[in-house]
Amino acid sequence: MLRDVQDDDLADMRRWRNHPRVREASFTTHEISQEEHLRWWASVRADPSRRVLIYDFHGVATGVVTYSHLTPESATWGYYLDLATLERAGRLLPAWIGLEQAAVEHAFGPLGLSALRGEVLDGNEPVMRLHRRFGFVEAGRRRTVVDGVPRDAVTFEIRKGNR
């Protein structure tokens, strides 16, 4: 289930985002300070083209779903999970699958989108496999720089009628 972020979620969101493996798979890999996180949150709240939601897995907040470049037709999305807690509980894979399903359903349901896109750093095979499992197809590639190192980013897309 996806729900709106509440102020008491912010510390957990930052902790999850700062997990070393989440940072490693991200386009921004440095550790996020509290001040940077609060500035980001203030900008998200003021931007109608962005939406951030909490993913509750069996009633417990365990992830974040972001929609950006939101238009009436499409958006770009991303996510991260509370890896440490989910791995300790042996529930990472079911939570990961549930989050992806909830995010796609939210995009084509409440948000009313026709297309949903996301970018994955090339080499992140687990995420690319999961996207394909849900019906996403590779829609392009672009060169980007992460921590001063050139990397390829793979764009995945799913259309409402192709699910």
Q: Read off the CATH number of the domain in which 14 is found.
A: 3.40.630.30
The domain tally of the chain equals 1
pLDDT at 162 exceeding the cut of 90: no
Q: Domain for residue 146, yes or no? A: no
Domain that holds residue 105: 2-116
Q: Domain for residue 141, yes or no? A: no
Q: Domain for residue 143, yes or no? A: no
CA angle 128, 129, 130 (to 5 degrees): 90
Q: Domain for residue 18, yes or no? A: yes
Instruction: Give the mean pLDDT of 64-77.
Output: 96
Residue 28 identity (one-letter amino acid): T
- Write down the pLDDT at residue 119: 95
* Predicted model pTM: 0.92
CB 120 within 8 A of CB 156: yes
Which of these, 142, 143, 136, lies nearest to 162 by C-alpha position?
136
SS3 120: strand
